[in-house]
Amino acid sequence: MDLFEHQGKELFARYGLPVPTGEVAYSPDDAVAAAQRLGVPVVVKAQVHTGGRGKAGGVKLAADLDAVRSHAAGILGLDISGHIVRRLWIEQASDIAEEYYASFTLDRSARKHLGMLSAEGGVDIETVAARDPDAIARIHIDPVDGLTQPACRQWVQAARIPGAVADVVADVLVTLYGAYVDADADLVEVNPLIVTSGGDVVLLDSKVTLDANSTFRHDDYAQYEATQTRDEREQAAHSKRLQYVGLDGSVGVIANGAGLAMSTVDVVNQVGGSPANFLDIGGGANAEVMAGALEVINNDPAVRAILINIFGGITRGEEIAAGIIEATRRVDIDSPIVIRLDGTNAAEGRELLEPHLGGALMMEPTMLDAARRAVELAGAAGGQVQP
């Protein structure tokens, strides 16, 4: 789950991290009222789930209330990398002396957390990495030990953070790491982490991604759920409680179990096709779930053929078959459907499907055969088949 900048800052503040004071606004009037309460100068900031807002004109300093109004009006409705601005964050302006970069994320291959820190913040960190890789200090943190004070001090030194603020920056980073772990975040990124002209260390920006699987232990995460930006397909699938990820291809994929669904996506690629999605209908899926899944896939205009790959364990073959038949009754399926049905009660399922085969519904004996057929059909129907 991606947080807006202000949600990230509000989360940081709950852990005692220093962030500027601000208010959310949805209109120029809101923005002016907020600026009156906060006191000018303020910064008017677009709240979208993407970075590079400053360069796109989504972050503006306002010295007086007239400027707040005009900047708010200018930024609302702005398209930043495909994200339309509907929400603003009005924040007391900071006087910046230094801009640093700091982040924590999980390094899966190292099986450790990874901290990155640079004294050259404020700009794109990829640019810094390309220009001078040594300007970014990395630290691997064992999740059991955590980020210790001595290790953090060394890291801060390696990043060439000036001695005058090194201790304060180290303290902030230890707290930020604690917040990252406690909040079940996959990523926290602060760019820039600033030193003000008065010598205070402040987190001026935030990019926070939370692990959606941790919502059960954070009652307040429901609020972030409501502000997620999903594409239409993902929204529809989510409302049906399906595990769905939208992709760019033309073969709609339905499978039971995340492992089989991923393998199916791989096999579609292997035989020269491109999957339109990943969709796991889960274990023990019934007719209702299968019908819902087919509806979601069918509503994707890029889909040219549908591949249903089921290996029944808890999921029973006749339930799947009934679901497919039910779905074809309920909705006009625009694409041919290729089915591979195996496992528990596969024979019963195939028997149910038999009278419906021919035409747009077909069955293949193996996963590979089914993938080949679906890819061929997607190609024949004008879908994009990669060489």
Instruction: Tell the smallest beta-carbon distance from residue 202 to ligand GDP (Å).
Output: 9
Q: Which residues between 210 and 239 bind ligand GDP (CB under 6 A)?
A: none
Closest CA to 320 of 357, 364, 354, 289: 289
> 341-358: b or e for each residue (b if 16 or more CB lie within 10 Å)?
bbbbbbebbbebbeebee
332 CB-side CA count, 13 A = 1
Select which of 99, 189, 319, 364 is catalytic: 189
CA distances from 11 to 43, 193, 218 (A): 20, 16, 12
List 101, 177, 224, 244, catalytic entry = 101
Find which of ligand GDP, Mn ion, none residue 34 binds, CB within 5 to 8 Å per kind.
none
Query: Can you say whether the dihedral through the CA atoms of 358, 364, 367, 369 is positive or negative?
Result: negative
Helix, coil or strand: residue 69: helix
Decide if residue 118 touches Mn ion (CB under 5 A).
no
Residue count at the site for ligand GDP (CB under 6 A)? 15
Would you count residue 365 as binding ligand GDP (CB under 6 A)? no
By CB under 6 A, residue 52 contacts ligand GDP: yes
Tokens 């919502």 label which residue?
215
Q: Does residue 74 interact with ligand GDP by CB under 6 A?
A: no
Annotated catalytic residue 101: yes
Partner in contact with 178, chosen from Mn ion, ligand GDP, none, beta carbon below 5 to 8 Å by kind: none
How many angstroms separate the CA atoms of 381 and 295, rounded? 19
Nearest to 268 by CA among 256, 281, 251: 251
361-363 and 337-343 strand pairing: parallel
18 binds ligand GDP (CB under 6 A): no
The answer to whether the CB of 73 falls within 8 A of the CB of 146 is: no
Cβ closest to Mn ion, residue 23 vs residue 205 = 205
- The answer to the question of residue 306 lying near ligand GDP (CB under 6 A) is no
Q: Which is nearer to ligand GDP, 85 or 204 (CB)?
A: 204
The residues, ordered by sequence, that sit 6+ positions from 238 with a Cβ below 8 Å of its Cβ are 230, 244
- Name the segment binding ligand GDP (CB under 6 A); options: 71-79, 91-99, 322-330, 355-363: 91-99
The one among 17, 35, 38, 59 contacting ligand GDP by CB under 6 A:
59
Active site residue 232: no
Q: Of 31-39, 90-98, 315-323, 328-336, which segment contacts ligand GDP by CB under 6 A? A: 90-98
Chain residues that interact with Mn ion, rule: CB under 5 A: 191, 205
Q: Hey, which residues are catalytic here?
A: 101, 189
Chain residues that interact with ligand GDP, rule: CB under 6 A: 43, 51-54, 59, 61, 93-94, 96, 122, 191-192, 204-205
